[in-house]
A = this chain, B = another copy of it.
Amino acid sequence: MKAGNPPTDHGGSMPTIDILLPGFAIDTDQGYPAFCGVFLVRGPDAAGRHRNILVDAAHVGRRPFLWNALAAHGLDAEDIDTVVLTHAHWDHVQNIDLFPQATLVLHPDERRYAHTPHANDWATPAWTGLLLEQLPVREVTDGEEIIPGVDVIGLPGHSPGSIGVVVQTERGRATITGDALHFAYVALTKRNPLVFWDADQAARSIERVLTVSDVVYPGHDRPFRLTSDAGIDYLEPFALTLTGLRPDTLGLRFADASSRPLWVMPGVKEQSKLYEKNADDIQRRINRVPKVVRPVPREAGPEKG
């Protein structure tokens, strides 16, 4: 399918959300698989042109799976015209170079911070800014419209410029939250388990998501609604196949996720000062990044959907 052609499965005028890659709440004691949700939002822009908007891009370990998911939706990478980043953490941004036709949409604080991240911020390597500047950038803040019915909501705290995307769908207001709300259970605990910027801001952002949303698409979990008795009603089944392990593999253990501790990055106070101090130099940092991304024809990846 070429950009501009309406997809056969999208005839209405309300925008739609499809899950391209599901988010997972899986961890290990040897590293983070860090599989975030990747979403396709489709609908007409103000001029009536069909738009294919990707929200978050995942890390390199999901690249062939992302190609296949796009193909399963009748799309090539070139058909994506907009890539929204909920934030600049490694597991959400690394595949943006697949979309050379797209404009990158993110919050100005997130963009700027990514050029001088704190040394303790293990989710934002020093080279993150070099990666972000590979696409043309549109900076957006709370309340801005991406297309009609698709709006930015400011959700800072997990990171300096975390945003969500609120989509007016046929089943109500759906918010793609990024890691302002990683997991469904966070809607009950109301504390962000992984704070790289400001824990109080992060708690207010969770409240805000819950206030505005009929349906929540979390950063690392399945979409859900809250039931009237404060239960979690998942809208999609869990599905995952592990290769190279069996339940009885010697040395394999399973741990309860409810033990996930709350973590606040050491140095968050000095971090905001560092950010202010570096602000004057940001435009120079942005300007000097060489552009290495350019469109090239591509054949299929190793996985077949």
Interfacial residues, chain A to chain B (CB-CB below 8 A): 21-22, 24-35, 58-65, 67, 90-91, 94-95, 97, 115, 118-120, 122-123, 125-127, 129-131, 134, 194, 237-247, 249-257, 259-260, 263, 265-267, 285, 288-290, 292-294, 296-302
Q: How far is the CB of A62 from chain B (nearest CB, A)?
A: 4
**Most B CB atoms within 10 A — which of A24, A130, A131?**
A130
Q: Which residues from chain B contact A292 at a C-beta distance below 8 Å?
A: 115, 126-127, 129-130, 285
A251 touches B237 (CB 8 A): yes
Tell me the bound Cα distance from A105 to B257 in angstroms.
Answer: 39
B244 touches A290 (CB 8 A): no
How many chain copies? Answer: 2
Contact of A33 among B61, B134, B253, B285 (CB under 8 A): B61
Q: Which residues from chain B contact A58 at a C-beta distance below 8 Å?
A: 31
Q: Which residues from chain B contact A30 at a C-beta distance below 8 Å?
A: 21-22, 24, 35, 62, 65, 240
Tell me the bound Cα distance from A247 to B242 in angstroms.
Answer: 11
Contact of A247 among B241, B247, B251, B260 (CB under 8 A): B247
Q: Beyond the given A90-B94, A127-B293, could you list 9 further A-B residue pairs with CB under 8 A, ordered by the A residue number?
A: A22-B30, A28-B242, A61-B91, A95-B125, A122-B301, A126-B294, A245-B254, A267-B299, A285-B290
Give me 7 A-to-B residue pairs in the complex whose CB atoms sit less than 8 angstroms apart, sorted by A's number.
A29-B243, A30-B62, A67-B122, A126-B293, A127-B293, A237-B251, A242-B252
The answer to whether residues A244 and B26 also contact, given A238-B250, A238-B252 and a CB cut-off of 8 A, is yes
B34 touches A125 (CB 8 A): no
Q: Which residues from chain B contact A266 at a C-beta distance below 8 Å?
A: 299-300
The answer to whether residues A97 and B252 also contact, given A29-B241, A62-B31, A290-B289 and a CB cut-off of 8 A, is no
Interface of A is mostly: loop
The answer to whether residues A33 and B24 also contact, given A130-B130, A289-B290 and a CB cut-off of 8 A, is no
Q: How far is the CB of A232 from chain B (nearest CB, A)?
A: 15
Q: How far is the CB of A303 from chain B (nearest CB, A)?
A: 8
A241 touches B267 (CB 8 A): no
Q: Which residues from chain B contact A257 at a C-beta distance below 8 Å?
A: 243-244
Q: How far is the CB of A135 from chain B (nearest CB, A)?
A: 11
B237 touches A260 (CB 8 A): no
Contact of A301 among B120, B290, B300 (CB under 8 A): B120
